[in-house]
Homo-oligomer: A and B are copies of this chain.
Amino acid sequence: MNIYDISEKTGVSTATVSRVLNRSANVSEKTRAKVLAAIEEYGYTPNVFARGLGLNTMKTVGIMCADSSDPYLARAVYYIEQELRKNNYDALLSCTGYKLENKAKSMTMMLSKRVDAVILVGSNYVEATDDKNDYIKKAAATVPVMVVNGILRHPNIYCTVCDDKSAIYEVTDSFIRCGRKNLLYLYNSTSFSAKAKLDGFRSAVKDSGSLIENEYAHYINSNNLTVHKVQEIVAELAEKGVKFDGVITSDDILAVGVVKYAKSAGIKIPDELYVAGYNNFDISECCDPELTTVNNKLENLCNQCVSTLMKVFADDRSVPKETVFSAEIIERDTTEFKIKKGS
């Protein structure tokens, strides 16, 4: 929506629309009211002036994240805002929730604010059903879209991800090499990254041949999840006869719940049970014993995302469409990889 559209919608000349916008005296009250009504109705914001002016940018980037109070997403928003600021860009934040409808609405809002680009934080923005990603692809026709920790292949969409699949593959493989025969995999998301992790677990199990006796992947709904809720769920699984001497998880909170369960059930960690988390959050160091977990290099991802965006803005020809970082396993007290591997 620009000055020409407003002119067309109202039947008022662009010159007169300009005069209204500039509070010129030479406009009748009636015409003025008509133009302002159209501006309200069509959501025209004067920001478009900036583009029309040769001031080609509002120097504002939209950050969309499902829930900025989630510790992973909160850290990501922080890193991205800092990097944008260093490059003299402002951050317009929108916490969209996890519903597709609200994500799409939020994107429309961002575009109406004439942001210079949109950054989608968190792999939950990339849906497996491809038509659910249409609103992102459509947005990419207008501004560059950056995806942090998800891959969506489309023109003007740039992705930065952590290789979560390989990380979980490596963790699972280490469990198996250390003689763990009954593996339980717990996950609480069906996002792009969650799928990659599950895939890593399944691949490692498959590649292990007959070294494994039982393996079970269990999905836990992450709404209002607490460590005690996880503890209960694991106890129920055990009661139902699910056997495990190793539990691999897609998120630290799940792993802490397993540690709590083990304590209440008198199971010794790591002797009788190995546990691994994911994300290397604060809680992984706070629980007892402290968690073996995976550092997914979030700061690297966020910095790279902004640096790629700046290259896009600068029309740099060497912009990478996808950048992949490796995760790093942080071993603490809920596993004994090093000792067992060495022996």
Chain A interface residues (CB < 8 Å from chain B): 3, 14-15, 18-24, 36, 39-40, 45-47, 49-50, 52-55, 58, 60, 63, 67-69, 71, 74-75, 77-79, 81-82, 85, 90-95, 109, 113, 226-228, 253, 256, 260, 263, 281-283, 285-288
Task: State how many copies of this chain the complex holds.
Answer: 2
**Alpha-carbon distance A244/B320, docked complex (angstroms):** 57
Question: Are A285's CB and B228's CB within 8 A?
Answer: yes
List chain B residues, Cβ under 8 A from A285.
Answer: 226-228
A197 CB, min distance to chain B CBs, angstroms:
21
Question: Are A79's CB and B69's CB within 8 A?
Answer: yes
Could you show 26 A-B contacts with beta carbons less than 8 Å apart? Answer: A18-B19, A18-B24, A21-B53, A22-B49, A36-B53, A36-B54, A39-B55, A45-B50, A67-B78, A68-B78, A68-B81, A69-B79, A71-B282, A74-B78, A78-B95, A81-B93, A81-B94, A85-B94, A85-B95, A90-B92, A90-B94, A91-B93, A93-B93, A227-B282, A282-B283, A288-B288
List chain B residues, Cβ under 8 A from A39.
Answer: 53, 55
**Alpha-carbon distance A282/B228, docked complex (angstroms):** 11
Q: Which of A24, A53, A92 has the most CB of B within 10 A?
A: A53
Question: Are A81's CB and B53's CB within 8 A?
Answer: no
**Alpha-carbon distance A122/B207, docked complex (angstroms):** 51
> A46 contacts which of B18, B46, B281 (Cβ < 8 Å)?
B46
List chain B residues, Cβ under 8 A from A14.
Answer: 22
**Alpha-carbon distance A226/B283, docked complex (angstroms):** 11
A67 CB, min distance to chain B CBs, angstroms:
6
Question: Are A75's CB and B81's CB within 8 A?
Answer: no
A338 CB, min distance to chain B CBs, angstroms:
19
Question: Are A75's CB and B79's CB within 8 A?
Answer: no
Question: Are A21's CB and B49's CB within 8 A?
Answer: yes
**Alpha-carbon distance A23/B78, docked complex (angstroms):** 38
List chain B residues, Cβ under 8 A from A113.
Answer: 90
A103 CB, min distance to chain B CBs, angstroms:
13
List chain B residues, Cβ under 8 A from A50.
Answer: 45-46
List chain B residues, Cβ under 8 A from A287.
Answer: 286-288
